[in-house]
Amino acid sequence: MAPERPLLEVNDLRTYFFTSLGTVRAVDGLSFSVPLQRIVGIVGESGCGKSVAARSILGIIPPPGRVVSGSMHFDGDQGLLDLAALDPHDEVYRKTRGKEISMIFQEPMSALSPVHTVGDQLVEALMLYDEQLTKEDARDRCIGLLRQVGIPSPETLIDAYIFELSGGMRQRVLVAMAISGEPKLLIADEPTTAIDVTIQAKVLDLLRHLHEEKRMSMLFITHNMGVIAELAHEVIVMYLGTVAEQGSVNDIFDNPQHPYTQALLESIPGIGVEPKTTLQAIEGSVPDPYRRPPGCPFSNRCPSFKAGTCDAALPPLYRVSESQTARCFLLEGNEVVAEAAPPPEVSADG
């Protein structure tokens, strides 16, 4: 395989929030890449930093947070950019955000305006990305987009307000907005978490279809292992702001190496699990961000915990195979892909 340059390469990204209670290391040494035309899935429990990672890429971290170190190389229309080194208000960043990298947000209502029609919002977005576009053409394009995402009678729906739409239709409008600039990278942050299974099934089908048709790369964020198995080519398992394990979808489901990945897979009920029997639960819960355990972030819940090792230092990233890596001392002896870097000394004002 000739190593092709990935569309996005995130390296040792750290995004911290400097709150009055202390520093939240929401994303803390995250590295991964999104190859061209692939779907990369990020999975992890709530609070592990999935949304903050996505917002870091888009350059929309609200204060008191900011990207404190690391790099995010994006290979877009404006050449290879390190987004982490750009000011989020920079012209170059603004041209990338929304158009080349777009995002479907977790909360559909917060991403759409209640006082404008579907058409108003979409037309505005389209005209922003393409300054030559006339209003009439934009409206036509908008109807085409709505049709593309499976909205019936888009000629009527274009004049509807968001509150007049069902949950499934809202989600489709969001997808239409996100693909309106023909992005190279679409980030979808739990786009189906708030909707029902029969509707979720349709939205997943739609996203897969768009990916195939437009060869669009996707970063798909979810806490649902089933959704990951269905959609992703590559998988990143996150825990407390960093990668616990990453690999191809087959690596992760057939041969998980990190105790967290293993435990996560064993804790879900479903086909193959005898009903009414005891599930393999993970002890405790994700730690409070202000009280991280020393050493490996999973050490206080890990069934394979070794005192003196796991609580002494952060494990390095070990190679499991060509396509798979994991951050766990059980893999000691394997090739070290990256040593664990200590968090940088930073303060609120950098």
Partner 1 sequence: MADAAAAGAMERGNIIEVRGLSKHFPIKRGILKHTVGWVRAVDDVSFDVRRGETLGLVGESGSGKTTVLRLLARALEPTDGAIRFRLADSEVDMAVAEKEVLRAARRRIRVVFQDPESSLNPRMTVRRIIGEPLVVNDKLKGEALDARVKSLMALVGLQPEQLNRYPYAFSGGQRQRIGVARALALDPEVLLADEPTSALDVSVQAQILNLLLELQRELGLTVIFVTHDLSVIRHMSDRVAVMYLGHFVELGDRQQIFDKPLHPYTEALFSGIPQPNPHRPLKRIVLEGDIPDVAQVPTGCPFHTRCPYKQDRCESEPPLLAEVGNTGRQAACHFAAELDLKGEQELLS
Ligand X SMILES: Nc1ncnc2c1ncn2[C@@H]1O[C@H](COP(=O)(O)OP(=O)(O)O)[C@@H](O)[C@H]1O
Residue 168 binds which entry of partner 1, ligand X, Mg ion, none, with Cβ cut-offs from 5 to 8 Å by kind?
partner 1
- Residue 65 is a binding residue for ligand X (CB under 6 A): yes
Task: List the one residue from 2, 3, 62, 131 that touches ligand X (CB under 6 A).
Answer: 62
CB of 217 to ligand X, least distance (A): 20
- Give the interface segment with partner 1, choosing from 65-73, 88-96, 180-188, 248-256 (CB under 8 A): 248-256
Helix (H) or strand (E) holding 17: strand 8-19
Give, as ranges, the residues between 16 and 35 that touch ligand X (CB under 6 A): 17, 19, 24, 26
Cis bond leading into 315, ω under 30°?
no
Could you write out the three-class secondary structure of 104-140? ECCCHHHHCCCCCEHHHHHHHHHHHHCCCCCHHHHHH
- By the 10 Å C-beta count (0-12 exposed, 13-18 middle, 19+ buried), 238 is classed as buried
Cα distance between residue 226 and residue 285, in whole Å: 21
Residue 289 binds which entry of partner 1, ligand X, Mg ion, none, with Cβ cut-offs from 5 to 8 Å by kind?
ligand X
Which are the contacts of 185, defined by CB distance < 8 A and separation ≥ 6? 7, 8, 34, 74, 100, 101, 102, 216, 217, 218, 219
- Give the interface segment with Mg ion, choosing from 44-52, 169-177, 295-303, 335-343 (CB under 5 A): 44-52
- Residue 124 is a binding residue for partner 1 (CB under 8 A): no
Task: List the one residue from 15, 23, 31, 51 that touches Mg ion (CB under 5 A).
Answer: 51
Helix (H) or strand (E) holding 287: none
Closest CB to Mg ion among residues 171, 324: 171
CB of 195 to partner 1, least distance (A): 8
DSSP SS3 for 3: coil
Q: Name the packing angle between helices 135-148 and 167-179 (round to 10°).
A: 120
- Residue 210 is a binding residue for partner 1 (CB under 8 A): no
Could you count the other beta carbons within 10 Å of the beta carbon of residue 152? 9
Residue 275 structure tokens: 């009903």
Given CA atoms 101, 143, 206, 198 in this order, what sign does their dihedral have? Answer: positive
Give, as ranges, the residues between 275 and 304 that touch ligand X (CB under 6 A): 289
CB of 208 to ligand X, least distance (A): 22
Task: List the one residue from 1, 2, 115, 279 that touches partner 1 (CB under 8 A).
Answer: 279
DSSP SS3 for 349: coil
Write each residue from 147 to 176 as x if it is in contact with partner 1 (CB under 8 A), else as -, in one continuous string: -----x-------------xxxx-------
Task: List the one residue from 202, 292, 306, 319 that touches partner 1 (CB under 8 A).
Answer: 202
Which are the contacts of 220, defined by CB distance < 8 A and separation ≥ 6? 39, 40, 41, 42, 188, 207, 227, 228, 231, 232
Closest CB to ligand X among residues 24, 263: 24
- Residue 89 is a binding residue for partner 1 (CB under 8 A): no
CB of 309 to ligand X, least distance (A): 26
Residue 103 contacts residue 58 (beta carbons within 8 Å): yes
Closest CB to ligand X among residues 92, 348: 348
Closest CB to ligand X among residues 17, 105: 17
Residues forming the site for partner 1 (CB under 8 A): 45-46, 152, 166-169, 196-202, 204-205, 223-230, 249-250, 253, 263-265, 267-271, 273, 275-276, 278-282, 284-286
Residues forming the site for ligand X (CB under 6 A): 17, 19, 24, 26, 44, 46-52, 62, 65, 289
